[in-house]
Amino acid sequence: MEVLFSNMSSLLRILVLGGNGLIGLAVVRGLHAAGHEVVGLGRSAKNGARLFPQIEWRSADIAALRSAQDWLPLLVNVNVVINASGALQDGSRDNLEHIHHTAIAALVSACESIAGIRLVQISAPGAAANATTEFMRSKSRGDDAIKRSRLNWIVLRPGLVIGPNAYGGSALLRMMAAFRWAHVPAFAGKRIQTVAMSDVAQVVLEAAEGRLPARSDVDLVAPAPETLQQLIDRLRIWLGFGPATLSIAVPRFAFGIVSWFADLLGHLGWRSPLRTNAVLALENEVLGDAAKLRQLRGADLMSLEQTLAAMPATIQERWFASLALLMPIMVATLSLFWLLSGLFGALSVDRAAALLPSSVVSLQIAKILVLSGIAVDIVLGAAILNRPTARLTCIGMIAVSISYLVAGTVLTPALWLDPLGPFVKVLPATLLAAVTWVVLEER
């Protein structure tokens, strides 16, 4: 294989696309630790700086960078570009064609006008023009645009990435492991090859520094696959949950129904790991060829057993797995609570208005206050279902609940002693909103 660039371990200026993502952030940290000047690119420079303030961050929606001119200002003095950006499925915040292909083709055009720049593409095993999902097909189109170019490029294809952080497929597996009372053996025999996050970061570093041959297209996978059931069982033991006590047979069509509903939520901004592309990825298996990278580096990447042994689980990992499993239920409960509160209030406006003391407010004003409260309840119950506004909505729920309690204590203090506890019940709902606000943080 012809080597088109030399081994350069001197200081490089490296632009990491998707630098605040699951893989991107690990890559950024590894490059920075190796002494390179790193620039992270993501939708929010502020969020990137919060996660890793040691480097320079820039804001851009990669899907909107559709021409070479859009990219050129970001490539000034850059030696290497690493593309760790990506999305699982089309949704309100993601367009796979623009993210995986259009923007990357424009990036290639911009890079070809800069002498000596290198491009490291992080793709996926199984990305091909005839793949069963648009995720894989759009990834393939982006890969092809890179491989047809005159650039010094390397394409790396990680399997299922296992690291200290979890997102997407890795989060889904931890959620399944947290369902500790039962096996759910749909797709149980499907094979998956994992890769340690630390190995991915190391190989990307080697590619960036020119220690791997140019124009290499290699899979980053453990030497041998695990079945999905074996993987979940290993994660369950790693987390400290112990073996499951039941086995529940879930038919394929049930996953189809769940995926259809998750796809609908995708249009509201929710990036559920149960969307169609994720389920199809399990069904199609996640497999790669470990031999090619072994020939280039002289050693295999870590096995799943070695990966888990290198990062012992703590109470934080158990919290994450359990709370990620409960998070959809928490959001649905809050939405239902506030929507029903508004609906029931709308059915008894006069009764609710009569509870306010006439010596303080007139009946007309009381009705206006009640109707206003009904409208606020319904708006909050609906707004939490929209992912971009969900965390802010939780804060709104907390503020409104406290306002209700303060105003109610002043105007109708006797309701604290009501046998049905209308005020007391607000307290756990307020706490649930606070916990949900914490759990809804994405990165």
Segment holding 126, helix H or strand E? none
CATH superfamily of 13-313: NAD(P)-binding Rossmann-like Domain (3.40.50.720)
Q: Where are the domains of the chain?
A: 13-313, 328-439
The number of C-alpha atoms within 13 Å of 99 and in the hemisphere containing its C-beta is 25
Rounded Cα gap, residues 200 and 158, in angstroms: 7
Q: Is the pLDDT of residue 5 over 60?
A: no
Q: Is the pLDDT of residue 179 over 70?
A: yes
Q: Which has the closest alpha carbon to 239: 283, 175, 190, 302? A: 175
Q: Quick check: helix, strand or coil at residue 101? A: helix
Per-residue b or e along 270-281, where b marks 16 or more CB atoms closer than 10 Å to that residue's CB: bbbbbbbbbbbb
Q: Which residues contact 183 (CB under 8 A, 6 or more apart)?
A: 229, 232, 244, 246, 247, 248
Q: State pLDDT tens for residues 207-257.
A: 999 999 999 999 999 999 999 989 999 999 999 998 888 777 777 778 788
Q: Is 314 exposed, middle or buried (0-12, 13-18, 19+ CB in 10 A)?
A: exposed
Q: State pLDDT tens for residues 41-88.
A: 999 899 999 999 999 999 999 999 999 999 999 999 999 999 999 887
Task: Count Cβ atoms below 10 Å from residue 47 Cβ, excluding itself.
Answer: 15
Least confident of 20-24, 160-164, 279-283: 279-283
Q: Is the pLDDT of residue 105 over 60?
A: yes
Q: Is the pLDDT of residue 338 over 90?
A: yes
Determine the average pLDDT of the residues in 349-376.
Answer: 82
- The CA-CA-CA angle for residues 306, 23, 286, to 5°, reads 65
Confidence of residue 419 (pLDDT cuts 50, 70, 90): confident
Mean pLDDT, all residues of the chain: 89
Confidence of residue 291 (pLDDT cuts 50, 70, 90): very high
Q: Is 406 exposed, middle or buried (0-12, 13-18, 19+ CB in 10 A)?
A: exposed
Determine the average pLDDT of the residues in 110-126.
Answer: 94
Q: Is the pLDDT of residue 135 over 50?
A: yes
Task: Count Cβ atoms below 10 Å from residue 178 Cβ, excluding itself.
Answer: 22
Determine the average pLDDT of the residues in 184-194.
Answer: 84
Confidence of residue 359 (pLDDT cuts 50, 70, 90): low
Q: Is the pLDDT of residue 25 over 70?
A: yes
Rounded Cα gap, residues 146 and 240, in angstroms: 43
**Who wins on pLDDT, 394 or 90?**
394
Rounded Cα gap, residues 85 and 142, in angstroms: 12
Q: State pLDDT tens for residues 375-390.
A: 999 999 999 999 999 9
**Who wins on pLDDT, 304 or 94?**
304
Rg of the chain, C-alpha, whole Å: 26
Predicted pLDDT of residue 7: 46
Predicted pLDDT of residue 251: 77
Portion of the chain with pLDDT greater than 90, in percent: 63
Predicted pLDDT of residue 185: 65
